[in-house]
Amino acid sequence: MIKLVIWDLDGTLINSLPSTFAAMNDGIEARVGRRLSADELLANFGSTEDQVLARIVGTQHAQECYQKYVKSTEQRIREILPHQGILEVLDTLKAGNQQLSIFTGRARRTTDTILKNLSLEKYFSQVVAGDEVDRDKPHPEGVYKICKAAGISPSETLFVGDSHYDIASGRTAGSKTAAATWDVQAQRSREKLAAAMPSYFIAHPDELHELLQRR
């Protein structure tokens, strides 16, 4: 039985990647001399935003670029919206007393800004951000941290994410995993998702409710 659902944030709960790419380019353009493509930016993903930027511009310029990125994110906040069907499934799961948490690679600052703007905080008992763990995804530290606080075994947990890093994090922890493929970037990286061997593939958020009813 699944007692806890852990969600990734970007590309899973929210449609944020176009805005994130734009904000990152706003942060680094003066240093790099051009705006990077989505693929160039994605090649540096897998950790908090400041670490992503550090890989691109070097550690000596990372904080300067990060502050520009945060400012741009706050200016673009209304561009970030829940994926279609997410609010409905969150309402349904919450009404059924399903425990819900978030483990995101985002830093706490922008995570809180986004959740507050979208009024999503009410759904989640815990939120673990990328700068609150020592080891980023695909390491399972964040999953362990959430499960320990909830008093629930990882084996009774489902991790829902759009990235192979999410799937690897959940699998290593011993959790069931669901590859969420409704975001454009997830569809583009379906081969990587498949190689990570998720327990399930779900193409629309409402499939998650059906999945949990079967479990």
From CA 41, how far away is CA 67, in angstroms rounded? 17
The Cα 208–Cα 36 span in angstroms is: 34
Strands 14-15 and 81-82: antiparallel
pLDDT at 214: 79
CB atoms within 10 A of CB 58: 11
Q: What is the dihedral of CA 171, 43, 17, 71, to 10 degrees?
A: 120
- pLDDT of residue 139 exceeding 80, the answer is yes
Give how far Cα 82 sits from Cα of 10, 90, 182, 200, 205, Å.
9, 11, 12, 22, 11
pTM of the model: 0.94
Fold of 4-16+80-214: Rossmann fold (3.40.50)
160, pLDDT greater than 70: yes
**Are 197 and 176 in contact, with CB atoms under 8 Å apart?**
no
Q: Contacts by 62-66 with C-beta closer than 8 Å and gap 24+?
A: 64/31, 65/27, 65/28, 65/31, 66/27
Q: Please state the domain extents for the chain.
A: 4-16+80-214, 17-78
* CA pair distance 47, 25, nearest whole angstrom: 17
Q: What is the dihedral of CA 18, 24, 30, 35, to 10 degrees?
A: -40
Whether the pLDDT of residue 189 is over 90: the answer is no
Cα–Cα distances (Å) from 153 to 100, 143, 176, in that order, read 14, 10, 11
What percentage of the chain reaches a pLDDT higher than 90? Answer: 90
pLDDT at 165 over 80: yes
Q: Which has the higher per-residue pLDDT, 48 or 94?
A: 94
pLDDT 10s digits, 61-105: 999 999 999 999 999 999 999 999 999 999 999 999 999 999 999
CA 203 → CA 29, 147, 188, 207, distances in Å?
Answer: 35, 26, 13, 7
